[in-house]
Amino acid sequence: MAADMPEATVQNILDQESLKWVFVGGKGGVGKTTCSSILSICLASVRSSVLIISTDPAHNLSDAFQQRFTKSPTLVQGFSNLFAMEVDPTVETDDLAGPEGMDSLFSDLANAIPGIDEAMSFAEMLKLVQTMDYATIVFDTAPTGHTLRLLQFPATLEKGLSKLMSLKSRFGGLMNQMSRMFGMEDEFGEDALLGRLEGLKDVIEQVNRQFKDPDLTTFVCVCIPEFLSLYETERLVQELAKFEIDTHNIIINQVLYDDEDVESKLLRARMRMQQKYLDQFYMLYDDFNITKLPLLPEEVTGVEALKAFSHKFLTPYIPPTSRSNVEDMERKVHTLRLQLKTAEEELERMKSG
């Protein structure tokens, strides 16, 4: 049975050379950024170039690599082919506005179509990324709700375009008159704005087709062995199926491994609780590659720490007791045999006496 189970590592992602887009997502606080950073390091060892993008407003990439990143791709220190950038859709709406009075027009337009600002910002970012020749792009996404919204951006842009077209038919040349008033007809005229939105829609539709191609795109779900995280992962997997986006990798982080030397009642209780949810993960996702990562006593930050932890992504983790303490176990077995022999002799004496 074990032979039929998918490999318990992310090696399958490295082996799939056709992959262009790798999304990493899950509930907040489960270690998405650490996992996506390490995944990008692993990919950089087998790809010509890798870009990791954070789309989480609470950027942690800079903290993970201990290096400052901006909205332009920056080479990660210690690498020649790994780049990182942090994109914040909520602040980049400034890029859509013109000076002075035009600001309110464009902010009103953005407010009229919920999510259009993020969608346009995301499309602009994808447009930029497509002009660069990265072999693989890893997305460190925001918590689940934001991620699902990101996947809805093509539909949002389409809705935005149709809304603008209806505004055009209703208000005729009003936007052109306003742009002429402010002397920005070429840049912010009705046709220019619609042309720009059309261009972004084309980009995001092309990318959306790629996102739905399992040869080009996959989604890695990161979670921890607890009820809320299991629930959120199931929700995410269902939504990804709805969007026709491939997912066959789950990383279960912060796993406590049983060690007979552990005397803490709290730790033992947590292990039992985790085991219950681990069993459920394996039952629900028996056809997924499930990678288990141990809970560490320290944080994983900085390139060296990330590299050191990366081997646990490529080889199933075995706790030290079962890996290196064979001699200790043999000694314990020998001692128990002696104790058993002594007890049996004592029992015989009691029977005969």
Tell me which residue has tokens 């074990």: 2
Going 84 to 88 to 91 to 97, the CA torsion angle's sign is positive
Is 304 annotated in a binding site? The answer is no
Read off the amino acid at residue 333.
Answer: V
Dihedrals phi, psi of 255, to nearest 5 degrees: -85, 130
Is 32 annotated as a binding-site member?
yes
Q: Phi and psi of 89, rounded to 5°? A: -60, -30
Which of 208, 233, 216, 352 minimizes the C-alpha distance to 290?
233
Please provide residue 141's backbone torsions phi and psi, each rounded to the nearest 5 degrees: -85, 165
Residues in the chain: 353
Report the chain's C-alpha Rg in angstroms. 27
Q: Identify the residue whose tokens are 């990678």.
A: 291
Q: Which residues are catalytic?
A: 56
Q: Which secondary structure element, helix H or strand E, spans residue 328, and what is its range?
A: helix 326-352
Question: 31 a known binding residue?
Answer: yes
Q: 307 among the known binding-site residues?
A: no
d(CA 124, CA 346): 83
Give the whole-angstrom CA distance, residue 250 versus residue 285: 9
Per-residue burial over 274-312, b if 16 or more Cβ lie within 10 Å, else e, is: beebbeebeeebeebbbbbbbeeeeebbbbebbeebbeb
- Residue pair 290/255 in contact (Cβ under 8 Å)? The answer is no
22 appears as a binding residue in the annotation: no
**Is 301 among the annotated ligand-binding positions?**
no
28 is in an annotated binding site: yes
Instruction: Confirm or deny that 292 is annotated as ligand binding.
Output: no
Residue 34 labeled ligand binder:
yes
33 annotated as a binding-site residue = yes
Indicate the annotated binding residues: 27-34, 226, 253
Annotated binding site for ATP: 27-34, 226, 253
